[in-house]
Structure 1
Amino acid sequence: MSSRREPPDLAALLRKQKAEQEAASKPRWIPKKERERLQADKEAKEEEERKRKEEAARQKDRTTNGATNGTTNGSTDRDGDPRSRASGQQRNIPTGPKAMRHAGNGDDAPPPNNMNSGGGGGGGGGNRQSGKRGAEHIDNDLRSRMEKNDEAELRARYMGPVINQSTFSAKKKRRRTAANKFNFDWDPDDDTSRPFDPVYAERPEPLFKLAGYETTDDVVMRKAEAIRRGDPETGEERARLLLEQHERGKVRTERKNLGKHWSEKSLDDMKERDWRIFKENFGIATKGGSIPNPMRSWKESNLPIRLLDIVAGAGYDEPTPIQKAAIPIALQARDLIGVAVTGSGKTAAFLLPLLVYISELPPLAEYNKNDGPYALILAPTRELVQQIESEARKFASPLGFTVVSIVGGHSLEEQAYALRNGAEIIVATPGRLVDCLERRLVVFSQCCYIIMDEADRMIDQGFEEPLTKILDALPVGNEKPDTDDAENPQIMSRYLGGKDRYRQTMMYTATMPPLVERIAKKYLRRPAIVTIGNVGEAVDTVEQRVEFVAGEDKRKRRLQEILNSGHFKPPIIVFVNIKRNCDMVARDIKGMGFSAVTLHGSKTQEQREAALASLRNGQTDILVATDLAGRGIDVPDVSLVVNFNMSSNIESYTHRIGRTGRAGKSGVAITFLGNEDNDVLYDLKQIISKSSISKVPDELRRHESAQSKPQRGAKKLEESGGFGGKGGQW
């Protein structure tokens, strides 16, 4: 039984027809050889059609001429010459080789009659001559064409087809010659889309043309208009999205502003690259999680307006690098380690965030004034404590806060009297503060803000044990967790001003010896570390000079020459190593005609304060001091520092010369060297060579002890925890 034939599926046929139509409408890619073949066929057809039309035109001319001649001959025959009619009929029959002349004109086409006589006249003679010339021209073309065809047929029959035909093309040769050259232009011969793509064939004219060039906005507008024209259904929506995307791109481009310097940008336009350049310009290096960007000016510091007015009144026009980096971190309740060279403005860097912190707490009253201060600042020397106290009062007194200093040299009764009404801030030395704790003169029940200034110096002076006692006396229930939460500013700031607030500990130091690192690891939680400049190097504003002068008498004469030169204006600081030399050198300076005061460890507190006050007020020209004045002492506009005796270690030397060149001003440091200083010559040469404005003298460069670091000095530094200062002799 034969299977029944199913009828065709109409839907399938429609889909097939639609697919064929879509395939036919799409532009197709044609190989280059195929395009050349199609072009050759097209040219051959056009040439054949042109020849056919020419031949038809010639045939029409011959027919018209024949009919005209036939009519003339017929009338003549009818007039009475039978011989002419007979001869005309005989002449119409082609015989002989001449028949080949008319082979292409048809079998029945008669040749033109050029033999008319009698009544033809002159006009008939002219037609006969022109017809004769036309026939000869046609016969010559036909004969040459037939001969070429016969020759080609004979060659193909006996010699075979031509297979070694040359395909040389000058254009292809030029292309092969330049094949190794990279061409940026598009080869129009390789573009197969435009001749067959209806989009390009029906491309509309541009809406408008600019005289010089088209801006990006003009191009986008023209493209949007073309989308509206080409897509009636969704073109309007697509054009709107295109314009919105273009506007967003313009906003992003404006925000980038890569060509501008960071000082010309607003805070919102600052990018990561700008912040990196900003930090490099000021020598700021930070380490730790979630560290905020530095502030560029006081207006961007997020400090209260009232405090900013006090800062402006104190003459702080621009923040220093340590202030730029440390204040934003401290305002986020983060623990902080600030490592900066001396004279960099560290005091204001920790005082301003401290005052913001106290402003958010309830004021001291009868119920809480005996619970201790809100903040504690520790410093190694009495002079530095009093200097911090004076600086703090400039900012705290207008806000209504009390600052009390606790140092040696004053009676405990005086300090207890100063604390009777409470104090928001206490500035103290570790030794005297431990005495107050043991005598119950002060407690730290509500103290949650600790600042240790010159921490390396406190360790160097043997204050490690008193410092540990003070830190252990602080409330322990408010310590930060040693987790990633301590690096989260949102979590740390959540408890500011509350009863359960976390303790915030900050440590400022010039170097980081192992003992300081141990204390920081024990009492600080995930601190942010800010480093300004290169640790252990002198600032670039100090020009360092060294002179090899042996003997006390020669050094005194050289000192007199320097002071009498008139190149340096007071105040001037002269450093010596031991206390008994201070008075002797000061006496010699007075003999030179200059006023001088001394500062060393055997002086009482009143004598120390009087000596510094006379130097700052301009009553005294020269201060002769030991390393007691090497750190933390801020005397404005010191033009010259003379190391009458070189310090025993390079760290003390760095802090000595740091008394000049402060607050961005320039200064000079002159050091006298002798044979007793061989242990520090290598380090001295290294630190001078790193300065951009100082030059290592040839005598120091060639000195035998300056070629390598002495082993004995390295052991001594290692045993002393990184320092070799002789604090006990101050």
Structure 2
Amino acid sequence: MSDTVTETAAVAAPAIRFEDFGLSPDVLRALSEQGYVHPTPIQAQAIPVVLQGRDVMGAAQTGTGKTAGFSLPIIQLLLAHANTSASPARHPVRALILTPTRELADQVADNVKSYCRFTPLRSTVVFGGVDMAPQTAALRAGVEIVIATPGRLLDHVQQKTLNLSQTQILVMDEADRMLDMGFLPDLQRIINLLPKKRQNLMFSATFSPEIKKLAGSFQNDPITIEVARSNATAERVTQTIYKVNDDAKGDAVSFIIRERALKQVIVFSNSKIGASKLARQMENEGIVASAIHGDKSQNERMAALEAFKQGQIQVLVATDVAARGLDITDLPCVINYDLPYNAEDYVHRIGRTGRAGASGDAISLFTEKDERLLVDIEKLIKKKFERAELVGFKPRQRGGDRPERSSSDRGEPRAQRGERTERSDRGERTERSSISNLGSSRREGGAPSPRREKVDPWFLKPYEPSTGETLVEKPEVASKSVKSRQKVAALLGGGPKR
């Protein structure tokens, strides 16, 4: 039976400081330089338990600092093995942190690197979509902490560039998402590669029955830490639902961005094609936008995320690949262009705003066919949404089947266009008339004449009997011709044998 520590987000005692946990001065120095003094509720509960060496299942709503909740005590525990030796053998992998997405792995790696910057501990990150060579070089040089996605980790194991035989701590971050993405077989393989005696930590915003079953298969008497009700949304996030027609959703997103003067917003789409299409529409309307999804290369995705964090991109249109773990400071708003098929993804999506106690807005668009998805979300978060209309929004009138004018016609007065067209048609008729020379192009009464084919004058001439000789070959001529052909055949090797 596992122990349970439950605490609400409001109980974060301001008197607790990071230095109260007995962390190393080097770790405290790194925290101080980043302005961190007081832990969040999940950190205050998890750090002491992890330092005791206990297995942990940590549940907290997104944006509450789960990464520091497990990485800080891990660094403290590994400092006993820290050394400055250049030998790779003195730096075996002692802690493994698994994440479901490349973006989250990269972000966790940045946090870990900043926390242990003043210590001799080494860390690196490995994920797919990029060249393995730099990752291989870092692993062979020796690292104590590896942050990885499951697939690329197994690639390195197969290439024998990674040895997990001395791993003491395993962390599964956003474990429920890893199950949703089909990583269960990979997770089982990785667990089988680890020593039996180790510390196991699982942190996520939600814990489904499947996750609890997985935890029971490899954790040893874990302590469950919950700092907020499971699947709860942040209280400081204002949630708004607007009903629009399906073909007007793109225009509605543009209207909301302009009406609220949003300078930084993440828009979530359920499909890769939908994300790319919406990003193009934003660009065509003068809004700086970019899309990230699974079909983008890793370098493209990371470049877009970095540009968005730096404020160079106004709108980031993303699939759920960006819904987990991304930490963007002071993100004011997220928009659900599509309601998620999985209700739990709604919690993670809107968790991108209102992080670390800040306020934010979560806006969702829905159509009549989305009612079932909306009801599922309401059941999950135990909150009833008030359906609202988007006041002042007027969708663009679609042209229907009307043919689109060419770019040369746009902006040209109708009278000039008609005159130009008439001149062109008249000139074309005159040219056809002069070429065919078959009379007027119209019959009496203004009806157009039927199309006539060109006629060769030679066929109109009267019949004239031929006065030349009959083309009959004389026998001797034919004989010579045959002999000539036989000689040629013999020359080519095809003649008859004598």
- The TM tier, using the shorter chain, reads 0.7 to 0.9
Which structure dedicates a bigger proportion of its chain to helix?
1
1:543-595 CA-to-partner distances (Å, cap 9, x unmatched) read 1100111222x222222221111x35322011111101112111111222211
2:130 is matched with which residue: 389, 404, 410? 410
Q: Of residues 109, 112, 121 in structure 2, which corresponds to 1:389?
A: 109
The alignment status of 1:603 with 2:296, answered yes or no, reads yes
Which deviations, in whole Å up to 9, do the C-alpha atoms of 1:100-122 show, x marking residues without a partner? xxxxxxxxxxxxxxxxxxxxxxx
> Which residue of 2 is the match for residue 548 of structure 1?
243
Amino acid at match of 1:545: T
List aligned pairs for 1:501-650, cutoff 5 A. 503-552=198-247, 554-565=248-259, 567-650=260-343
Letter in 1 for 2:158: E
Give 1:455's aligned amino acid. Answer: A
Alpha-carbon distance change, 295 to 360 in structure 1, aligned in 2, over 3 angstroms: farther
The answer for the alignment partner of 1:309 in structure 2 is 29
Relative distance call for 1:294 and 1:450 in structure 2 (3 A) is: farther
Q: Distance in 1 between matches of 2:45 and 2:347?
A: 23
Q: Match for residue 400 of structure 1?
A: 120
1:675 aligned residue: 368
CA separation in 1, counterparts of 2:164 and 2:221?
Answer: 23
Conserved 8 A contact 1:372-1:442: no
How far does residue 370 in structure 1 lie from its aligned partner after superposition? 7.3
Contact 1:294–1:324 (Cα < 8 Å) also in 2: no
State the secondary structure of the residue aligned to 1:564.
helix
Stretches of structure 1 that go unaligned for 5 or more consecutive residues are 1-275, 285-292, 480-502, 701-730
Cα deviation, residue 643, structure 1: 0.7
Cα 1:412–1:660 shift into 2, 3 Å = same
Give the Cα–Cα distance (whole angstroms) in 2 for the partners of residues 280 and 365 of structure 1. 44
Which residues in structure 2 correspond to 1:172-571 (within 5 Å)?
279-280=7-8, 282=10, 296-363=16-83, 365=85, 369=89, 372-476=92-196, 479=197, 503-552=198-247, 554-565=248-259, 567-571=260-264
Equivalent position to 1:696, from 385, 390, 406: 385
The code of the aligned residue for 1:343 comes to G
CA contact (8 A) 1:337 1:527 kept: yes
Tell me if structure 2 keeps the 8 A contact 1:571–1:637: no
Q: Which moved more, 1:352-361 or 1:414-423?
A: 414-423
What letter matches 1:504 in structure 2?
Q
Larger deviation, residues 522-531 vs 679-688: 679-688
Residue 110 of structure 2 aligns with an amino acid whose one-letter code is S
Query: Contact (CA 8 Å) 1:295, 1:328: kept in 2 or not?
Result: no
CA distance in 1, matches of 2:7, 2:57: 17
Partner of 1:657: 350
Matched-pair contact (CA < 8 Å) for 2:88–2:140: no
Instruction: Kindly provide the CA deviation profile for residues 314-370 of structure 1, in whole angstroms up to 9, marking residues without a partner as x.
Output: 121321110010001111111111011111101111111011011111527466627
Q: Do the aligned partners of residues 643 and 362 (structure 1) sit closer, same or farther apart at CA in structure 2, a change above 3 Å counting?
A: closer
Secondary structure in structure 2 of the residue aligned to 1:442: coil
Distance, in Å, in 2 between the alignment partners of 1:639 and 1:388 is 22
Cα distance change of structure 1 residues 662 and 648 upon mapping to structure 2, 3 Å threshold: same
Report how far residue 681 of structure 1 moved.
2.3
Shift of 1:642: 0.8
User: C-alpha distance in 1, partners of 2:14/2:356?
Assistant: 19
Find the aligned partners of 1:294 and 1:440 in 2 and give their Cα distance.
47
State the TM-score, normalized to the length of structure 2: 0.73
How many residue pairs end up in the alignment?
A: 385
Instruction: Give deviations 1:385-418, integer Å, cap 9, x for gaps.
Output: 0000111111122212221111001222221111
Greater Rg over alpha carbons, structure: 1
Structure 2 residue identity aligned to 1:471: I
Deviations 1:529-556 (CA, angstroms, capped at 9, x unpaired) = 101211112111111100111222x222
Q: Measure the CA separation in 2 of the matches of 1:569 and 1:369.
A: 52
SS of structure 2 residue aligned to 1:678: helix
* Partner Cα separation in structure 1 for residue 134 and residue 20 of structure 2: 41
Counterpart AA for 2:10? F
User: CA separation of 1:339/1:280 partners in 2, compared to 1, >3 Å: closer, same or farther?
Assistant: closer
Residues 263-300 of structure 1: per-residue CA shift (max 9 Å, x gap):
xxxxxxxxxxxxx9x9456368xxxxxxxx99822232
Shift of 1:423: 0.6
CA contact (8 A) 1:568 1:639 kept: no
- CA, structure 1 residues 283+686, in 2 after alignment: closer, same or farther (shift >3 Å)? farther
Task: Say whether the 8 Å CA contact 1:571–1:638 is kept in structure 2.
Answer: yes
Partner of 1:287 in structure 2?
Answer: none
Q: Contact 2:231/2:381 (CA < 8 Å) preserved in 1? A: no
Amino acid at match of 1:451: V
Q: Distance in 1 between matches of 2:15 and 2:45?
A: 7
Q: Which is strand-richer, 1 or 2?
A: 2
**For 2:61 and 2:316, how far apart are their aligned partners in 1?**
22
Flag the structure with more relative contact order, 1 or 2, with Cα contacts below 8 A and sequence separation at least 6: 2
CA–CA separation in structure 1 for the residues paired with 2:91 and 2:111: 25
Q: Distance in 2 between matches of 1:613 and 1:299?
A: 32
Q: What are the ranges of 5 or more consecutive residues in structure 2 without an aligned counterpart? A: 390-498
Letter of the 1:317 counterpart = V
